[in-house]
């Protein structure tokens, strides 16, 4: 084996060891496990209603557990999650869980069309400047977060939460 090939192979091997084979995070595919975090200040988390007015998470949810599902109209996985999120809203909304769709980075007219086209049954707000998404350390879409009644994050993933997570948060309130 000539010297140049050995150096190239050695370089590739070193790069593999240094960076691993996991690659870069891709939108919507990476799990984002919840870490024990201090409670969020619900009155400081501000969204935009479909009327364009600012509204706080506290005004939307009060002291109830919250399921935030972050989405965008161009996100195919987000579109596929709508029926599941509608079922979660129907099943757990009556038990005190506030289900809130959060559109990231789009204006309200696009969001209104999305809600109508995909028959979204839960309330939807906007985060057009992605301020909330950034503050919640979102790295891709979709992102689903469950907060308990005290504002502590108990679930974070690209997939909607399972029944056991939703039962535990609604029974604990």
User: Does residue 11 form part of some domain?
Assistant: no
At 118 the pLDDT is 98
Q: Which of 118, 114, 143, 128 lies closest to 27 in space, CA to CA?
A: 143
The C-alpha atoms of residue 136 and residue 144 are separated, in whole angstroms, by 11
At 16 the pLDDT is 43
The C-alpha atoms of residue 32 and residue 68 are separated, in whole angstroms, by 14
User: Does residue 86 form part of some domain?
Assistant: yes
Q: Which of 57, 77, 40 lies closest to 158 in space, CA to CA?
A: 77
Provide the number of structural domains found in the chain.
Answer: 1
- What is the DSSP code string of 88-110? HHHHHGGGTPEEEEEEES--HHH
Query: CB 31: neighbour CB atoms within 10 A?
Result: 8
User: Does residue 7 form part of some domain?
Assistant: no
Which CATH number does the domain housing residue 60 bear?
3.40.30.10
User: Does residue 5 form part of some domain?
Assistant: no
Q: Which of 58, 121, 127 lies closest to 92 in space, CA to CA?
A: 121
DSSP 8-class letter at 37:
-
User: Does residue 18 form part of some domain?
Assistant: no
The C-alpha atoms of residue 158 and residue 51 are separated, in whole angstroms, by 28
User: Does residue 135 form part of some domain?
Assistant: yes
Q: What is the pLDDT of residues 26-59, one digit of tens each?
A: 344 444 444 545 566 777 899 999 999 999 999 9
User: Does residue 3 form part of some domain?
Assistant: no
At 1 the pLDDT is 54
Structural domain span for residue 130: 23-172
User: Does residue 1 form part of some domain?
Assistant: no
Q: Which element (helix H / strand E) includes 117?
A: helix 108-117
At 33 the pLDDT is 44
Contacts of 93 (CB under 8 A, 6+ apart): 99, 122
Residue 111 is encoded by which pair of tokens?
Answer: 């969001």
Q: Which parts of the chain register pLDDT below 70? A: 1-40, 173
The pTM for the full model equals 0.78
Q: Which of 120, 126, 160 lies closest to 143 in space, CA to CA?
A: 160
Task: Give, in order, the Cα–Cα distances in Å from 126 to each of 57, 76, 106.
Answer: 12, 18, 7
């Amino acid at each position: 084996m000539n010297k140049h090939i050995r150096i190239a192979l050695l370089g590739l091997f070193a790069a593999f060891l240094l960076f691993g084979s996991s690659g870069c995070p891709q939108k919507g595919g990476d799990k984002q496990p919840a870490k024990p975090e201090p409670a969020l200040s619900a009155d400081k988390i501000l969204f935009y209603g479909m009327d364009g007015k600012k509204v706080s998470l506290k005004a939307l949810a009060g002291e109830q557990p919250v399921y935030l599902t972050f989405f965008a109209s161009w996100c195919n996985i987000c579109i596929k999650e709508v029926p599941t999120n509608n079922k979660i809203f129907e099943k757990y909304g009556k038990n005190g869980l506030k289900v809130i769709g959060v559109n990231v980075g789009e204006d309200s007219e696009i969001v209104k069309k999305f809600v109508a086209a995909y028959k979204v049954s839960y309330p939807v707000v906007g985060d057009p400047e992605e301020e909330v998404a950034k503050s919640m350390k979102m790295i891709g879409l979709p992102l689903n977060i469950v907060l308990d009644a005290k504002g502590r994050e108990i679930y974070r993933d690209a997939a909607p939460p399972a029944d056991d997570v939703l039962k535990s948060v609604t029974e604990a309130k």
